[in-house]
Amino acid sequence: MEIFKGSGVALVTPFDKYGNVDYETLKKLIDFQIENETDAIIICGTTGESSTLSYEEHQKCIQTCIEHVNKRIPVIAGTGSNCTKSAITMSKEAEQLGADGLLIVTPYYNKTTQKGLINHYSKIAEQVKIPIILYNVPSRTGCNIEPETVKEIVKRNPNVVAIKEASGNITNVAKIIDLLEGKIDVYSGNDNQIVPILSLGGIGVISVVANILPRETHNLVMNYLNGNQEKSKEEQIKMLKLIKTLFKEVNPIPVKKALELMHMCEGTLREPLIEMEEEHTKQLIKEMQNYGIKF
Q: Please answer whether residues 15 and 268 qualify as being in contact, where contact means their C-beta atoms are separated by less than 8 angstroms.
A: yes
- In terms of Cβ atoms closer than 10 Å to its own Cβ (0-12, 13-18, 19+), residue 185 is buried
Q: Is 135 a catalytic residue?
A: yes
- In terms of Cβ atoms closer than 10 Å to its own Cβ (0-12, 13-18, 19+), residue 235 is buried
Q: With the C-alpha atoms ordered 105, 106, 111, 117, is the resulting torsion angle positive or negative?
A: positive
Q: Is 164 a catalytic residue?
A: yes
Which residues, listed in sequence order, are joined to residue 78 by a DSSP beta bridge? 103
Catalytic residue among 121, 151, 164, 233: 164
Q: With the C-alpha atoms ordered 246, 249, 252, 253, is the resulting torsion angle positive or negative?
A: negative
**Measured in Å, how far apart are the chain's first and last C-alpha atoms?**
40
Q: Please answer whether residues 42 and 277 qualify as being in contact, where contact means their C-beta atoms are separated by less than 8 angstroms.
A: no
Residue 71 CA to residue 226 CA, distance in Å, equals 25
23-35 and 55-69 helices cross at what angle (nearest 10)?
Answer: 40
Give per-residue burial for 140-156: e unless 16+ CB within 10 Å, then b: ebebbbebebbbbbbee
Among 78, 81, 16, 14, smallest CA distance to 43 is for: 78
DSSP, collapsed to helix, strand or coil, labels residue 136 as strand
Catalytic residue among 5, 92, 129, 135: 135
CA atoms within 13 A on the CB side of 35: 7
Catalytic sites, residue numbers: 135, 164
